[in-house]
Copies of this chain bind each other. A is one copy, B any other.
Amino acid sequence: MNSITPPPSKYVSKAVIKRLPRYFRYLRELIRNGTLRISSKDLAAKMNITSSQIRQDLNCFGGFGQQGYGYNVMSLYMEISKILGLEENFKAIIVGMGNIGKALAGNPLFEKRGVSVSGLFDINPEIIGSEYAGLKIRPMTEIEDFCKQNSVSIAVLAVPKSEGESVAKFLYNECGIKGFWNFSNMELSNKIGDAIIENIHLGDTLMTLCYELSQRNKEK
C-alpha cells in the first residue's frame, strides 16, 4: 500500500497541530508576565519538552525567530493565533443547555480564542425564552434561520448521546455548520459528510488517571 497523498501545500503533521494550543497558552502566559523575548531553550525548559522540538514545530510555518536572539514573544503569539485561525472570529452556537451546555455558555474560553458564542438552543420548553449568560435560549425550530443569518460555523454539541448524530446531521445538512465541538459522547467521525469534528470524551482522561493510579498502587 502506498502512502496517502499529502495535503496540497506544506504538510503539517497532526502531532504538530495538537501541540500548537499549548504553545499558545505558554506564550499568553509569558505576555501576561511581561516577558518580551524567549529562546527555544528557555521555553523548552518551561514546557518540559526539547528545544529541538520547538524549533522544528515552528519551522513548519515559517522562520519566526532570530539567530542569537530567540523569539519575540508577542509576535510569535500573534503568528500562532493566526495559524490556529483564531483571528477569523468564528461564530458558534451551543446546542443543548443541560449541565455541560451551561458550563460552556458564558465560559471565557471562547472569547480568549476569538470564538463568539452567538446563540443557545434547547428543546425544553421550560427554559426556552429564558436568559443564560446574557443570551436567550431559543427553540430548535429557529436554529436553521439563525445559523444562516449569523454565519455560524461551529456547533457546540451538548445534547444527549442518543441525539448526537441526528442533531449533527441536521446542522450539517440544513444549517451549513461545518465544525463540531462534540460533547455528546457519540463519536461522529466519518458520519457527518466532510464536517470537521472534535469528539470530546471527558471520561477517557478520567480512565487514564485511574490506570496510572492503579499502576502506582501495584508497584508497592
Contacts and interface: CB of A to CB of B under 8 A. Distances in A.
Interface of A: 7-8, 17-18, 20-22, 24-25, 48, 83-86, 88, 90, 99-100, 102-103, 106-107, 109-110, 112-115, 153-154, 178-181, 187, 189-190, 196, 198, 200-217, 219
A213 B20 contact: no
Contacts of A20: 207-208, 211
B48 A213 contact: no
Contacts of A198: 205-206, 208-209
Contacts of A8: 219
Contacts of A90: 210, 213
Q: Which 3 A-B pairs have the closest CB atoms?
A: A85-B214, A21-B204, A103-B103
Given A85-B213, A179-B212, A213-B85, A206 B109 contact: yes
Contacts of A178: 213, 216
